[in-house]
Amino acid sequence: MAESIKVKVQCHACGNSIEGSAKYGSGHYVQQGVPFEFTAVGKFLKNGKKRIKGEVVCICPNCSVRNKYIV
């Protein structure tokens, strides 16, 4: 089952606000906003709910700089 993760970040280089979604797992997935590359690095509990911890990489649509974040 596919799980989508919404991300809202700011570009390291130009400060442009980047919004989009990344996918986790396989299956049907609809991309929204700026495409993000997602790599799961682990799981953690937040408010009693299981959340996935991962690394997202995206290309800024404004200046083409590659940005990396931990979500």
Of 25 and 61, nearer to Zn ion (C-beta) is 61
Contact string 15-54 vs Zn ion (x = CB under 5 A): -x--------------------------------------
The residue assigned the tokens 């700026």 is 34
> CB of residue 39 vs Zn ion: minimum separation in angstroms?
21
Indicate whether 68 belongs to the interface with Zn ion (CB under 5 A). no
- Three-class DSSP labels, the chain: CCEEEEEEEECCCCCCEEEEEEEECCCCCCCCEEEEEEEEEEEEEECCEEEEEEEEEEECCCCCCEEEEEC
**Binding-site ranges for Zn ion (CB under 5 A):** 11, 13-14, 16, 60, 62-63, 65
